[in-house]
C-alpha cells in the first residue's frame, strides 16, 4: 500500500512545476473559543495546491483509500493545541504574528509522503519520501 501511495505521489509531482505561494491570514480551527489547530492561509498559489490535492485524492480514491468528507482547504498547520489557559493572549499573539508573516512568498518545489503517528506527547511526523516537482525551466 505504501509503495502505491508513493507511486501516485511521484506521478502527480511529475505533472506539476515548481511554483510560489504567498502566506495569507492566520487563524484557528474550529474557533477561538475552542482552538485545536493554529494555521496560516495561502493567499496566492492555492489554486495549484488545490489542484494537486484533488488529483492525489482522486487517484488514491481509485486505489481504495478513503476520501475525506470535508472539503480540502489550502493552509499550513503551525501548531496543534491540547490545553489553552489564556485565549486572549493567543489572539494577541496571532494578530502580531499575522502581521509579520502575511505576504511572505514560499517556493513549493517538492511533494512529501509523510507518516503521522499519534503519541501521548502529540503527533510524530516522519518524511518517508520527498519527491521534487518539475523544474520551471523544463521544455
What is the 8-class DSSP label of residue 138? -
Specify the CATH architecture of the domain 2-132.
Alpha-Beta Complex (3.90)
Q: What is the pLDDT along the chain (139 residues), one digit of tens a residue?
A: 899 999 999 999 999 999 999 999 888 888 888 889 999 999 999 999 999 999 999 999 999 999 888 888 889 998 888 888 888 888 888 888 878 889 999 999 999 999 999 998 888 999 999 999 997 654 4
pLDDT at 73: 85
Domain positions in the chain are 2-132
- Give the DSSP H/E element, type plus range, for residue 40: strand 37-44
Decide: residue 97, CB within 10 A, 0-12 exposed, 13-18 middle, 19+ buried.
Answer: middle
pLDDT at 95: 82
113-119 contact pairs (CB < 8 A, 24+): 113/2, 113/5, 113/6, 113/9
Amino acid at each position: 500500500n505504501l509503495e502505491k501511495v508513493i507511486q501516485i505521489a511521484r506521478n502527480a509531482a511529475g505533472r506539476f512545476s515548481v511554483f510560489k505561494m504567498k502566506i495569507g491570514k492566520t487563524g484557528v480551527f474550529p474557533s477561538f473559543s475552542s482552538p485545536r489547530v493554529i494555521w496560516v492561509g495561502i493567499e496566492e498559489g492555492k489554486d495549484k495546491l488545490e489542484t494537486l490535492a484533488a488529483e492525489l485524492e482522486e487517484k488514491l480514491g481509485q486505489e481504495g483509500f478513503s476520501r475525506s468528507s470535508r472539503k480540502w482547504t489550502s493552509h499550513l498547520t503551525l501548531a496543534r493545541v491540547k490545553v489553552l489557559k489564556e485565549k486572549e493572549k493567543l489572539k494577541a499573539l496571532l494578530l502580531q504574528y499575522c502581521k509579520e508573516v502575511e505576504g511572505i512568498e514560499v517556493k513549493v518545489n517538492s511533494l512529501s509522503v509523510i507518516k503521522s503517528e499519534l503519541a501521548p506527547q502529540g503527533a510524530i511526523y516522519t518524511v518517508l519520501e520527498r519527491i521534487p516537482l518539475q523544474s520551471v525551466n523544463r521544455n
